Amino acid sequence: MTERVFDSLIVHAQVATIAGSAPHCGSSMREIGLLNDAAVGIIDGNIAFVGSSQDAAALEAKECLDARGRLLTPGLVDPHTHLVHSGSRESELAQKLAGIPYLEILQQGGGILSTVHATRRASREELIEQALRSLRTMLLWGTTTVEAKSGYGLDVPTELLQLRVAQELRKLQPVEIISTFLGPHAIPPEYQDRPDAFLEQMIQLLPAIQAEQLADFADIFCEHGVFSVVQSERFLEAAQKAGFGLKIHADEVEPLGGAELAAKLGAVSADHLLAASENGLRSLVSAGVMPVLLPGTSWNLRAKPARARFLIDTLQAPVALATDYNPGSCPTESLQFIMALAANELRMTPEEILTAVTINSAHAIRQAHRVGSIEVGKQADLCLFNADNPAYLVYHFGINHIADVWKKGQHVVVNGLYIDNP
């Protein structure tokens, strides 16, 4: 019998396996399956061995890396971003510092609408170039899978362009992209007096998006001054009938009832939840909806953070974390920064945080069968950190701890440097 030859073998690592097919809930979020002096072997892009370094000594590999006791984790998963857009909104910083609420900035034509204007004017090439810069940053900081929403077109041609750009980006770089159609992200100026007519236009766009397989999910901004619970339900029901998984921007500013709607419709995730009522949180947890918390956004908007401890301790719920990367309310691509905020703002433990940016985030985009944990048979998406324990990642904040990254078994970041053609 011929012995297997591994493409890559990582030895002498502290391996956080975060194993298990179901979301990690409540206290189980602290169970990260840490293996001391462990090894991980890769064959054909998948994990083919997880065990002790002693047992790995008998294995043959084309590439062998000595982790020297450092922490090896699953590749980080970011389940909520607004990746494809044009421009930036630092011009709104003075308004924010003056205490002007976000919804007021939006009503003045800023916020989302400012980015809509820039994105509508941008060429396909400009959108690709800006998104590629962000994706490279994400990868260098450990993100190997990302969800990308549209929503900066608010018209048929630009919404389709955003989704097609996201599809093209998959071929141009290593980070995996899961697409979400967020056409009803705001009400465009030309429809300010006819929001239902705009919503109907976005509903009519669903079959075309499905026919081109441009998105896996559909999302809506359910908030006062944007879309009501009734309008959100109308859109999400149409999306569900068209075959999309459901997501919802829920109760970010006011307890409007977005969490309850997510529970009613069986959404895959409900995101933000800063102002969600206790009943809303209980409902979505009972319905199996993944709460996706975005501490970067609440921190940047100086808002009261989401109730992570209530979800984890009282409701014994799973929690996922995401950047909400966008040009306005949270302009950061770094999940490591979000991890530090989760400790300091949400009072989550390092182990809970690591679970929330790996297996639980993978569940938030229906990818946990492939990514989010270190288990034989799963895709070899891995991060090696310049740290030997999870606490150090959030304790020493503001720097990039990544040493090496593997995506589908390819060594794409080596000693902190991006490799163009691994």
The segments of the chain whose pLDDT lies below 70 read 1-2, 102-103, 106-109, 422
Identify which of 116, 111, 107, 13 has the alpha carbon closest to the alpha carbon of residue 66.
Answer: 13
Ranges of beta strands (E only) in 53-87 are 60-66, 71-74, 76-78
Q: What is the CA radius of gyration of the chain?
A: 21
How many CB atoms neighbour CB 162 within 10 A? 32
> What separation, in Å, do the N-terminal and C-terminal C-alpha atoms of the chain show?
31
If you search the block for the tokens 């003075």, which residue do you land on? 94
What angle is formed at CA 262 by the lines to CA 261 and CA 265, rounded to 5 degrees?
80
Tokens of 37: 């002096």
pLDDT at 90: 81
Round to whole Å and give the CA distance between 184 and 230.
Answer: 13
pLDDT at 120: 97
pLDDT per residue over 86-119, tens digit each?
Answer: 988 887 777 777 788 766 776 666 778 889 999 9
| Pair 260, 283: CB distance under 8 Å | yes
φ and ψ at residue 28, rounded to 5 degrees: -70, -15
Round to whole Å and give the CA distance between 116 and 92.
Answer: 15
pLDDT at 144: 99
Q: Which amino acid is at 52?
A: S
pLDDT at 106: 67
| Pair 262, 248: CB distance under 8 Å | yes
